[in-house]
Chains A and B, each alone.
Chain A
Amino acid sequence: MTATSPDVLVIGGGSTGVGIARDAAMRGFDVTLVEKGNLTHGTTGRMHGLLHSGGRYAVSDQASARECIEENMILRDIAAHCVEDTGGLFVKRPEDSAEYYQRKLEGLVECSIPATELTAQEARAREPFLARDIDKAIEVPDAAIDPFRLCVANAKSAQDHGARIETFSEVTDLLVEDGEIVGAEITHESGAGKRVHGTEGTVEEIHVDHVVNAAGAWTGEIAAMADIDVEVRPSKGVMTIMNVRQVDTVINRCQPKGDADIVVPHETTAILGTTDEEVGDPADYPEEQWEVDLMIEELAKLVPILEDARTIRSFWGVRPLYEPPETGTDDPTDITREFFLLDHDERDAFPGMTTIVGGKLTTYRLMAEQLVDHLAGKFGLDSTSRTAEEPLPGSEDESVLDEAMDDFGLRSPVAKRSAERLGSRTADVLDTDEPNPVVCGCEAVTRAEVADAIEQSGTDLNAVRIRTRAGMGNCQGGFCSHRLANELHPEFDEGQARAALDELYQERWKGQRHALWGKQLSQAMITYAMHALTMNRDRDPATSEDAPDFGAFDAGPASTPGAAEDGESADGATGVVTDGSGGDRRGD
């Protein structure tokens, strides 16, 4: 970076923030991005993974629909390793409005979204688990996208272009001088740089030429630090994850609007969504079981097998909806999905900060482009974004997946899944001389891939999880969280590994609480039995300050007097008695 590069601080490590960081860094800005959790901590990490074709908005919001189809096509190119071309169907049930179906069809044509009508038979031939009584369906180019991989790749690209990315670094104040925002006070949970458990927190003041507020649902809180009023209207939605994919195509219900109207095949799972309900505080709202029940009940009308299929967890996300103050929409489902760029100099006569709010993941790149265009105008820099052409790290060479690739000594489904996640980085990561066992069996993640993730993210095992999918399968970390923690050693010490393990375990438990019936209940009980009882993790003396009360143990078998009295002696003598008599040893 040259000395003249303008400094920009981007607040928020969601898709919008990392997209801006990448675009700005590519255009010559000196970028620092701060995120209070790990990347995707907010709404980005809590979405259903749909890459919109725009079909959803083809009737109600055609401007958004057109943006979606354009961005959809761009992301298939630049983020190939994050996108799965599943295709999508809008399915009409007999009770759904025929008029709306017709309007949908027309809207799709108007927005240049490729659409094909399918008979019920054709739709069921494609997706055999669709309900027998559906009327018909429209095929659209919906796709599945992994928001985690997408954000990590954007952040990595930004870093490659000189940006500094700080996670677990919360903005605790905005710095204001002479009526202008000049930077922010950042509290690093474990110091600057990669997160390492047990490292003492630090506070840093970052002075920049411009601040970008891309804090999603927390946008209002950030603005309020400078007494600026941005009223975000957070709206929660539940998503329920099924253990396996019941469908391999995105299934939308063809209705004007409604809760529980989409199933998205996502990696090994299927995600059911969602609801739309305004909440007061984006960090504190009720997560209720009836919302989960509603997902399954409603979506079973499209895919009946869901009724008895295994659910592995549910999670809630908060949409950072925004509308200009005078609009006053009552129903959150009617609030626009468009995004807004608020230059606080123009809007509030408060220079030094621009806010970007609203929008959706599918259009994250376009939002970033427009925001950086705005900044470039302000600072007189290169005004051409290259993010629509330049592939993200991992997507540089699409042929990797198509060619008969080296399996790096891995079993074929493991090699295949690894390559899908790593894209063009596959060989760099997997080509190792070290033993490379599978660490997470559910998602086929090997030690080499975990090591690569640890290198990127320090001791933060949730960051390892979002990079690799380790811990996201049916046992929800029951059988792999401790193996993942073990991979932190010896680079990090036992206490750090333990803290990282607890954090991952808690995070996995949080979502599983909403899936505790049937097989997932059995799974949770097994996980509990293993971790609490076998590994003693519910009351591990190592986590306590006090020395264990060895006197509370019994003296052991009376027949081994030496061991009974000297149970904890350190002289290496054991209490094992060998039976030299060759007594009654029977094979059965």
Chain B
Amino acid sequence: MSDTESRDSREVEQSDTEDGYEPRDIFGTTTEMDLRSGADNCTKVGTCDAECPVAEVDDDFPGPQFQGPEQWRLSSKGDVEIDDSVTKCSNCLRCDSGCPSGVPFSEMHNTARAKYVLEDQPLSIKKIRNRILANYRTSAWLASKLPRTANFFMNNGIVRWLMEKTMKIPSEREFPEFATQTFREWWAERGGEATSKERAQEARAQRGDAPVHSDEKRVAYFHGCYSNYNTTQVAKSMVRAYESLGYEITVPKQKCSGTPMFANGRVDDARRHAKVNVEHLGDAIEDGYDVICTCSSCSLALRQEYPDLFDLDGIDELAAHTYDALEYLRIHEDLEAELEGATVDAPDVAYHAPCHSRNQGLGRQAVELFADVDGVAVTDVGDSCSGISGTYGWKAEKYETSMAIGEEMFEHMEAVDAETGMTECPTCAMQMEHGTGYEIMHPIEVLETALT
């Protein structure tokens, strides 16, 4: 548990600095915090600009150095003027992880975007569309009521033509298919927590390496919207993989992680959802559970964006107890030993590490994990950004940029000797599929095959 310990000690340090480096809500609303002192870290070397995939393909985008430290330093109290170019930022956060001197880019961009969208941006079709995209959970919930009908209409040519004309949703994109049964429905039908406990205990008994009754191996799953409504196979694989290692799973009540909302400046919506998540996941943490996610943007939101942006009871606890699903197993299990000699029946894959995984330091975990597993060759396609960045590539005016950014990844995928892709992020997967036509897997699916 060394990782958890170090997180805890960091927390203690933070609370020591009472007099203050935490951003202050001095501009009067929760969306405007005094981030000027964050500009103290900037030495203007421009690593952020060099890392930025949008700046690389769009000469009109001023880049993160301007968007972040320069713009905040130039702002004055009560009169923060956010340039409209902030809407061109895709929130990939490569500037955040690339900065050599710790400029709080993520916080700066999210706050600036929220300020711009909530206070300055004039009402328009695009603004409405952005809010609809940001609240994907609501659309997905609706679609899940009649999934087959939704699947038919959402990819119907006429409907899509209309959507492009009225809502500026690019007709080139294929809408993700809605599962006929959501993950939560499946989970409930399967018997929920009680069944999971049974199966975990069975596995533990079989393995003989841990007490059958244990409070240690318990995880709360934050599935997010996508593996609940769309790629339910990812969630199911996670359940089976974890149970086979003896973990009891709970699936608390939850809402959207907020990722698409942050990216569209809707911190107001994100905060509402965060409140529910922090409350229910917090209860699980109190009962001794750790939180795991299979979506890299969800884990990033819970770990980094939540404490950056919101001041909710238990939000730091949640951040400290949240893990990516693979990461968690790599910390607590000897996965290499588990996989030794395993042979899996999976296609070779071209693996793309999502920007939001990189930001959590997880960019190489899938490649490392499967390096010695027979039956699957995982080839890293390099550090390019897929370009879709969640809802970004779903906007007609951003589509070209999104595809231009993705070009490098597509080329590298095609150069790899594999006809299938792999990634942790559901929208990266969408883009990979869109650009190459490959089927895209999640590493947890491969892990499940290897373990069971």
Contact = CB atoms under 8 A, between A and B. Distances in A.
Interface of A: 128-129, 131-132, 243-246, 248, 268, 304-305, 308-310, 411-414, 416-417, 441-444, 473-475, 478-479, 519, 522-523, 526, 586-588
B73 A304 contact: no
B70 A442 contact: yes
Contacts of A305: 19-21, 37
B359 to A, nearest CB: 21
Nearest to B42: A474
A444 B41 CA distance: 18
Contacts of B19: 131-132, 304-305
Given A417-B74, A474-B73, A519-B101, 15 more contacts: A132-B19, A243-B39, A244-B36, A244-B40, A305-B37, A308-B21, A309-B37, A411-B66, A412-B81, A413-B70, A413-B74, A416-B79, A444-B74, A474-B40, A519-B40
B43 A442 contact: no
Contact of A246 (B37, B65, B382): B37
Interface in B12-67: 18-21, 24-26, 34, 36-37, 39-45, 62, 65-66
Interface in B77-110: 77-79, 81-85, 101
Contacts of A414: 74
A305 B18 CA distance: 10
A76 B272 CA distance: 45
B39 A128 contact: no
SS of A interface (majority)? loop
Contact of B43 (A128, A244, A444, A475): A475
10 contacts: A243-B40, A244-B37, A245-B36, A268-B74, A412-B81, A413-B83, A441-B44, A444-B74, A522-B101, A526-B45
B446 to A, nearest CB: 22
B23 to A, nearest CB: 10
B411 interface: yes
B406 to A, nearest CB: 14
Contacts of A411: 62, 66, 83, 85
Nearest to B19: A304
- Interface-centre pick from B36, B41, B42, B73 (highest chain A CB count, 10 A): B73
A441 B70 contact: yes
A177 B44 CA distance: 59
Given A129-B24, A411-B66, A441-B65, A474 B39 contact: yes
Nearest to B383: A588
- Interface-centre pick from B37, B62, B82, B382 (highest chain A CB count, 10 A): B37
A245 B36 CA distance: 7
A536 to B, nearest CB: 19
Contact of B82 (A309, A412, A586): A412
B126 interface: no
Contacts of B411: 587
Contacts of B131: none
A586 B379 CA distance: 14
Given A129-B20, A310-B40, A441-B65, A413 B77 contact: no
A193 to B, nearest CB: 35
A248 B77 contact: yes
B71 A413 contact: yes
B26 to A, nearest CB: 5
B279 interface: no
Contacts of B412: 587-588
